[in-house]
Every structure is written in structure tokens, then in C-alpha cells.
Amino acid sequence: MQNAITDGAGDSMIFAAKLLKSERITPESSREEVRRLVFHTDNRYFDCKVGSCIRVLAPGQYGNPYHARFYSIADCEQPDDAAEFEICVRRCFYIDDASGEEYEGVASTYLCDLKPGSVIKFSGPVGYPFVVPENPDANLLMIGMGTGVAPFRGLIRMIYEKHGGWQGKVRLFHGSRTGLESLYMNDVNNDIGNYFDQPTFKAFQAVSPRPVFNAPIALDKVVEQNAAEVWEIVNSPDSCIYVAGMKQMLGMIDNAMAGIAGSPDAWLSKRNEMAAAGRWLEVLY
């Protein structure tokens, strides 16, 4: 696979980028801190594409030279030799099994605490970019969970601002634990709302029915409620499905789609057919 996503050190080229801006895009009242970070690199060899990932080399611990973690490119502009790109980072914590203590995730804390003017090292891009079909009548389905919705803001912007005159349906299904944690439709940030006046655009939001008990986000239910339109999009010429977010969401989508397609086998064969034609694009983590 071209540019496969692996955690190996690899010998790819190392780039440097300066942080231009860091802003929290979840409200202060939300327990999730997600930040939008905008970087600039002068290195003309960095090929920046929405949907592919960079491998950030955060300072290492315990004698390791660096701590490498992937972040998907949420938006980018590459007018000439330089590139300005954006990633969205969720501040992570974990509980150590042995001590029961809470620790900060290394790379996410490094990135969330970074001040404008600081310089990061990274390699990439890796993975497949989210390409937009040539045909402006193509229907597009985007399904994103948590920080997975980040590349869709850039993709939607690309479709309406760069391509223009898009006639195909653009449908975004996005999920977060609560409305406050939704990245682009909350009190401090309503970027997706900017596209609601586009006649071909619709967004559907899913949240958890019982967020305090960590009940699963009902993304599958929202897809099922729109089964007829989803199936029409899947089967229409040149349509594309983009999926981004945590790996667990794939099972949820597969179940919902199997119900719509008639059986798990019928759906799997449709998904494989779309993937082979470059019409199913995913970034899962």
C-alpha cells in the first residue's frame, strides 16, 4: 500500500513547521479539550493533503530520541513552495494499571501546550488523501467520530470554496459524546453551520444517549434513520464514502450498512468494490 500507516520509525524525510496558531475548539465547560493547531512549513517537499496524516516527533522520554504519533491533516493550503496546514488534537490522559495514577499522553500534551512560534519536527504525509471526484454531480458521504470529523471541515471547504458549483449531495454524519464535545457545532465553534445555506449540504449529528455512563455514540442509528438516502448515495455514479475516527466506529458503520444492504456479506462486497475503485476512503485510529 502506498504510504501505509505504521508506527515504525521509517527513514522518511523529517520536516520542520512553525506553530502559527493554537485555539481550543471545544467549550471550556466540556470535559474534552480539543485544539486546532495551524502550522507553516517552508519545505517544498512536504506534500500536504487533507485526510492523510503527519507523524509528529514529540520529544522522547526515557532516553528515546522522540515519541512519534500520527495526526490527520484537517486542512491545508499550498499556494507555492510553502504549506500552511492544520491538525486537531485531543488532549489525552490514561490511567496506569499498576499505580492507578492518571498520566498525560505524551504527544497530545506536547502539542496542546505548544505556544505560537514553537517549531515541531514531523514526517509524512502517510495514508491516502481524501480526494474529491472530478464529477461535480457525484454524491459524497462523510462519517466522522470525535476528532475524526476534523478532516471533513477541510474537505467540505474544498468542495464548496475551491471546486464551486457542487451539484451532488454532500452528507456529513458526525458523532461525539455530547453536543459540547462536537468539534464544529458547539457554543464556541460553528464552522459546519457556515455550509448550511448550501442547497446540496446536510449534516446529521449523533451523541451518546447516556453520556455519563459512556454509552456508545448513536452514529449507527442516525445512519439507519437516513437509510434510503445513504443507500442511494452508495449506489450512485462516482459517489465516495469518507470515514474518519476511532477504529471502533467501523464495526458500528458496518452493522448499520449491513442492515441497509440486506446482509453483512452484501455490504462487505459493496464496501470492497468501492474501496477497489478508490471510492471508500478511511483514516481510522
Ligand X SMILES: Cc1cc2nc3c(=O)[nH]c(=O)nc-3n(C[C@H](O)[C@H](O)[C@H](O)COP(=O)(O)OP(=O)(O)OC[C@H]3O[C@@H](n4cnc5c(N)ncnc54)[C@H](O)[C@@H]3O)c2cc1C
User: Radius of gyration (Cα) for the chain, nearest Å?
Assistant: 19
23 or 81: CB nearest ligand X: 23
Q: How far is the CB of 258 from ligand X (least distance, A)?
A: 25
Q: How far is the CB of 68 from ligand X (least distance, A)?
A: 9
Q: How far is the CB of 63 from ligand X (least distance, A)?
A: 16
Nearest residue (beta carbon) to ligand X: 105
User: What is the binding site for ligand X (CB under 6 A)?
Assistant: 5, 53, 67, 69-72, 87-90, 92, 94, 96-97, 105-109, 147, 150, 283, 285
With contact defined as beta carbons under 8 Å apart, do 25 and 35 qualify?
A: yes
5 or 218: CB nearest ligand X: 5
Q: How many CB atoms lie within 10 A of CB 144?
A: 26
75 or 220: CB nearest ligand X: 75
85 or 173: CB nearest ligand X: 85
Q: How far is the CB of 225 from ligand X (least distance, A)?
A: 27
Question: Residue 124: what are its φ and ψ, rounded to 5°?
Answer: 130, -165
Strands (E), the chain: 15-24, 34-41, 53-59, 66-77, 83-90, 93-95, 102-104, 119-126, 140-145, 170-175, 201-206, 240-245, 280-284
Question: Residue 36: what are its φ and ψ, rounded to 5°?
Answer: -100, 120
Closest Cα to residue 125, out of 64, 200, 71? 71
Q: How far is the CB of 112 from ligand X (least distance, A)?
A: 9
70 or 195: CB nearest ligand X: 70
> What is the widest separation between alpha-carbon atoms in the chain?
57
